[in-house]
Amino acid sequence: MLIALCAGPMAAGIIAYCIGRVNRTARDYFADAVAVIETGLFIWLALAYLGGSAPSFSAPYICGLGISLKFDGFRMLYGLIASFMWAMTTVFSREYMAHYPRTNRYYMFFLMTLGATAGVFLSADLFTTFLFFEIMSFTSYAWVAHDETKESLRAAQTYLAVAVIGGMVLLMGLFILYDIVGTLRMDEIYDALNRAVLNDPSVKGRIYAAGACMLTGFGAKAGMFPLHIWLPKAHPVAPAPASALLSGILTKSGVFGVLIISCEMFRFDPGWGLMILIFGVITMFGGALLGIFSINIKRTLACSSMSQIGFILTGIGMQGLLGSANALAARGTMLHMMNHSLIKLVLFMAAGVIYMNLHELDLNRIRGFGRGKWLLTAVFLVGGLSISGIPGFSGYVSKTLLHESIVEYMEEIPAASSYGYFKFIEIVFLVSGGMTLAYMTKLFTAVFIEKGEEGSKEQEEAGAMAVSYDTETEGHRGTYVNLQSAAALALSALVLFVFGICPYRLMDRAASLGTVFMHAGEHGEAVDYFTFSNLKGSLTSIVIGIVIYFLIIRKLLMKKDEEGNTVYIDAWPKWLDMENLIYRPVLEKILPFVLAFVLRIFDRMADHIISLLHRSLLREVEPKRPLMYGNAFTHVLGAVMDKVVELLNRTVRRKSPKVINYEQKLAFGVEGMIKMSRYASRSVSFGLMMFSMGCIFTLVYLIVMLLIHISG
Amino acid sequence: MYLTKDIPLSFGADALGLMFLVLTVSMWVMDLIFSIEYLKHDRRRVRFYVFYVLTLISMTGICLSRNLLTMYLFYEMMALMSLPLVLHDQTKEALSAGRKYIFYSMGGAFAGLAGFFFIYIYADTLTFTPGGVLDMARLAGHEDAMLIVTMLVIIGFGSKAGMFPLHAWLPTAHPVAPSPASAFLSGNITKMGVFVIIRYIYYLVGPEFIRGTWVQYTFLALTMLTIMMGSMMAYKEQLMKKRLAYSTVSQVSYALFGIALLTPAGFTGAMMHVIFHSLVKNTLFETAGAVMHMTGFKKASEYKDLARKMPVTMWCYALVSITLVGVPPTSAFLSKWYIAQGALSSGTGVITWLGPVILILSALLTAGYLLSVMLTAFFPGDEYDYPCLEKKEPRITMLLPMLCMAAAAVIFGIFPGPVMKIITGIADVLFV
């Protein structure tokens, strides 16, 4: 049963491709059916689980190490969320992808990723997690690259690079872990590690090394700083249904991994908790900051995802710090994961509706699109208010729980000296919450309140064109979204809304589902979400958010252009991009260059030694040229001069090369001299000349001697 | 039958030999099927097939020989018989590559021969025996000399397996041969080097003799260096077949690394990698060959958009590339897993963790040089005009072997049971 939930959609993906080659409509219905059936199966399993049966699956020989799946509260909830999101996005895809090319490929990978994601969340051992995790990374590549524009290919490259590098580092962690404990089953790891540490305390360092490697792998997928780089790039370029899943559920598979590390390997380990907390806080604040600066609706949502993952990581970190009294943190983590998945589903689909009509994502171009479109407004509002943590909406509950866990830790803090740090963390937490509200307000006012001033005509035309385009194919005259997509949107928003208004009945129960998985302690008393002390944090955030919106976004991030219209400006400096500033230069240029340089030496070593020997010790003996003319001196001098001439010809005198052979010339010259002297020495006049020269020398000698004699 | 008075030529089959034999023969058949179409219009194809058969015969001899001398004879024969496959095109390039091939092969084999003489002094028999044949009492006092000779043998026979420092023939010779031959050379003839080293270490010298000595460490270091070097050079190489040849340099050293670890897990991983790499590399060279045959493209950059022209070929390429990177659930992931576990449990100091790190780094580079080609083939960018493409898929006789091997590479990853059983059987005998 469980394996069918994973393998079924993968097989269905291939079937969908085959169907799509024949009939596209049939394929669409088939894909819808698969996703809905998957949801149905999960609901059925969930009901059975609540009735007391917990199925599990294991196949010890498959893939060498065996895969094993199981079903518990957390897995049930996330299976439900995943399949629900897939069902909604598949239905939504139909209209959204109607005019895209290569939809067969899209659907194939869409369904395959569903199977892989189900596998990740159902996995009972880390090997199975890794297996499905890698499949998921590869199949989801096809989403990001789907448009095949320059940006999307580049973003997809980044995505895959992060996924592959992260996956390999994760694998390294698994190597080490498996070597230490000899098992990867999640429910055995904790005890096995404790035994290993008891046997040999020095193994502790290796456990942390394994943990760090695994955190890199899972954190990269989750979008944890500093491995978040793929998020703001990949989400905007992917088709909207895919962005919703990337953001809502694929990042959660990374969080799932982080949870396994934190709750199984390093259960109640304060040191580990603190590290996760620090990463979480940076991610939370960094994402929110990027979100405020962004002027692209999907990019803002992607940055927001990063920020919300930071909130979740903060919760995971607090779980470690709080030890066995971590009920609040665990419940907050669980709920925020769930909320964020559902919220991003709604928001990205809403952004998808905008893109579907305008083919624009820039806030200045989509301005005012949502005016008068009550469904879209309502849906976006539910999502926006939830994510900003407004009381009465779902995000409020989870953020409150996370906030309370920080407050709880500060109250019980052992050392007064670190109180300040945690106060700081609390402030950052609240400010990030405020920033969430600020950037959501920015999006909402831009799309739904402000009038599209500049270029509104074009925009309306584009909208009208898109609408008329739709009318031809879908038959819904004058609407910006067809019935199916609207139903998907509305249903997603409705679920989110219902969760928000029933914090005790639904949210608390959902939170309890995760406690076994996270090994949370007993939940003392039910939290009353609407007391003043609990509302205080949220209200602080709201005030901060309003201040940020009016003081920073409206004052600094909006400008009047030449025509007097206010426009959103992209104030984030272009060069300040970790990917282009650090990762790409290092990984694409510097490391390959250095490594290739060093390794090339080794590669050519044997060849070079051989050729060196060939030229020196073992060279072929050239037959000596007989010295017909000239002597050794002229040959050497001539050869040197020839080389000089050759060099000059190649450099200075390239235009008018000098053709001359000095070696030959010198040899002939010497030969001529020798011949001359031979003739000369034989002649009488030469004798006479020598005689007179002798006389002159004698005469000079006598005069010199005489002068010396006189003077001396 | 005796070669000299007291050295017999003897043949026999054991599990290891049979495993290599089955692998060799099945890959040989695959490449043969591929070559039918590939060499259809080649006027020298009769000569090619003659030597192709002779190569198989000599490799069969290696797999089935029961003592060192017999194996050595067939080993030299294999080098000579496969030479015409490299020379096939008779271009200037092919001739010089052939010369390089034979120099390196012979040089390596002579180094191996030195070991033969030495072992002969200190052992009663040269018949392969699990655990080694060395007579320790007779060897007492000469251990160092024996170690030096062992190192020489490893380096010598490592030449065939493309191990540094005698690897340089491989990236020169493999690309110039016709594609079926380069597939076989790269996928299987290199494995004979691995096989001979296994025979030498595990069946003659004995793993206990070199465990923990400088020989083991040097061997490990050389293989690690080769793994990195091959991957890096492949990453920097633009000619597709040359890139694949460098990839072979790297990947065969995975197997050698596993062997050098002298642990059961390492050995198991090495054996699996021998099989899986063979499947993958044969497929890769065949896809490269098919692309050359149908379009004439030789460079990696020319593969852009090829997935639409040759979808089946490129799907085979994609599957085996992912396999070679080591992404589960494909097969090469398993071999890497076992090799890494072997390294971590080998107790070889720094190599326990450096080995797996090198494996991971090399896997990343493998992704860099194989997957990048795959991605541009499948996702060429939006400036391509899709409807105007012509299909260039090769004929079924070319596709069939690729499809079979690619499927096997994936399926063995999901259901490794039978392969594991055979290899565990071999390892159980070797590591008592």
How many Cα atoms are found within 13 Å in the side-chain-facing hemisphere of B140? 2
Residue-range definition of the domain harbouring residue B251 = 15-430
* Cβ atoms of B9 and B70 closer than 8 Å: yes
B102, B268, B336, B360: best to mutate for the A interface, most A CBs within 10 A:
B360
Of residues A64, A176, A599, nearest to B420 (C-beta): A64
> Does residue A334 sit within a domain?
yes
Based on the fold, state whether residues A288 and A406 are members of the same structural domain: yes
Length of chain A: 712
Alpha helix (H) ranges present in A51-149? 73-96, 103-122, 126-144
**Which chain B residues are Cβ-neighbours of A600 within 8 angstroms?**
232-233, 236
User: What are the tens digits of pLDDT across the range A439-482?
Assistant: 898 888 888 887 765 444 555 555 555 544 444 444 444 577 78
How far apart are the C-alpha atoms of B96 and B75, rounded to whole Å? Answer: 22
Same structural domain, A510 and A413: yes
Structure tokens at B206: 């004995």
User: CA B199, B233, A221, A288: dihedral to nearest 10 degrees?
Assistant: 160
Residue A73 lies in a domain: no
Note whether B368 and A202 are within 8 A (CB). Answer: no
For the stretch B161-186, pLDDT in tens is 989 888 889 998 988 999 999 999 99
pTM score:
0.85
Domain assignment of residue A237, yes or no: no
**C-alpha to C-alpha distance for B34 and B18, rounded to whole angstroms:** 24
A306 near A221, Cβ under 8 Å?
A: no
Question: How many domains are there within chain B?
Answer: 1
pLDDT tens-digit readout, A341-372: 999 999 999 888 888 888 888 888 888 787 77
Name B326's Cβ contacts closer than 8 Å, sequence gap at least 6.
A171, B332, B333, B336, B363, B366
The helix (H) or strand (E) run that includes residue A58 is strand A56-59
Other beta carbons within 10 Å of B271? 28
* Domain membership flag for residue A430: yes
Number of domains in chain A: 2
Q: Tell me the ipTM for this assembly.
A: 0.91
Task: Using a CB–CB cutoff of 8 Å, tell me whether A606 touches chain B.
Answer: yes
Q: Give B325's contacts in chain A (Cβ within 8 Å).
A: 164
Measured N-to-C along each axis, helices A297-322 and A327-358 cross at an angle, to the nearest 10 degrees, of 170
Q: What is the pLDDT at residue A181?
A: 87
Structure tokens at A239: 């088709």
Q: Who contacts A10 (Cβ-Cβ below 8 Å, separation ≥6)? A: A111, A112, A115, A116, A135
Contacts with A179 from chain B: Cβ below 8 Å: 341, 344-345
Between CA B199 and CA B382 the distance in angstroms is: 54
Which positions 166-225 of B are in contact with A (Cβ < 8 Å)?
A: 166-168, 225
Pick from A169, A176, A595: CB nearest B344: A176
A376-410 pLDDT tens trace: 888 888 899 888 888 888 888 888 888 888 888 88
pLDDT at B221: 93
In the block, tokens 């995790």 appear at A133
**Is residue A262 domain-resident?**
no
CA separation for the pair A386, A343 (Å, rounded): 7
Give the pLDDT confidence score for residue A549 in this predicted structure.
Answer: 86
Torsion, Cα A247 A253 A258 A260, to 10 degrees, reads 160
The DSSP result for A400-416, as a single string, is HHHHHHHHHHHHT-S-G
**A579 is written with which tokens?**
């990917």
Q: Rounded to a whole number, what is the largest CA-CA distance in chain B?
A: 77
Point out which residues pair with A185 in neighbouring strands. Answer: A125
Q: Average per-residue pLDDT in chain B?
A: 89
Q: What is the pLDDT of residue B289?
A: 92
- Sequence-distant (6+) residues with CB within 8 A of A198 are none
Question: Nearest Cα to B55, choosing from B25, B35, B30?
Answer: B25
What are the pLDDT digits (tens) for B397-427?
889 999 999 999 999 988 888 899 999 999 9
DSSP annotation of A59 reads E
Closest alpha carbon within chain A to B344: A179
Q: Residue A414: how many CB atoms within 10 A of its CB?
A: 9
Does the distance separating the beta carbons of B329 and A595 come in below 8 Å?
no
Predicted local distance difference test score (pLDDT) of residue A74: 87
- Mean pLDDT by 10-residue block, N- to C-terminus, for chain A (712 residues)? 85 89 87 90 88 84 83 88 90 84 87 91 90 91 86 89 91 90 86 88 88 92 88 88 89 91 86 90 91 88 91 90 82 89 90 85 81 84 88 86 85 74 88 90 86 55 49 49 83 87 81 81 72 83 87 80 76 79 83 87 84 77 62 80 83 77 80 79 76 90 89 76
Spans of chain B below 50 pLDDT: none
Of A64, A138, A605, Cβ closest to residue B327? A138
Per the CB < 8 A criterion, the answer to whether A485 and A355 are in contact is no
Strands A558-560 and A566-568: antiparallel
**Bridge partners of residue B67, in order along the sequence:** B127
**A67 domain residue, yes or no:** no
Give whole-number Cα distances, A177 to A157, A196, A219, B348, in Å. 30, 11, 17, 18
Task: Evaluate whether residue A363 is within a structural domain.
Answer: yes
- Domain membership of residue B4 (yes or no) is no
Do the domain assignments include residue A273?
yes
| B1 located within any domain | no
Bridge partners (DSSP) listed for residue B65: B11
Structure tokens at A208: 């942390």
Angstrom distance (rounded) from CA A197 to CA A189: 12
Question: What one-character-per-residue DSSP string does B381-403 give?
Answer: -TT--STT----PPPHHHHHHHH
Q: What is the CA radius of gyration of chain A?
A: 39
* Residues A393 and A523 placed together within one structural domain of the fold: yes
- B92 found inside a domain: yes
Using DSSP's 3-state secondary structure scheme, residue A712 falls into coil
Q: Would you tell me which residues 275-314 of chain B have a C-beta closer than 8 angstroms to some C-beta of chain A?
A: none
C-beta separation of A267 from A190 below 8 A: yes
Of B380, B357, B276, nearest to B323 by C-alpha is: B276
| Structural domain harbouring A498 | 269-572
Q: Cβ of B371 under 8 Å from any chain A Cβ?
A: yes
Chain position carrying tokens 């201040």: A547
* CB atoms near residue A88 (< 10 Å): 27
Residue of chain A minimizing CA distance to B356: A172
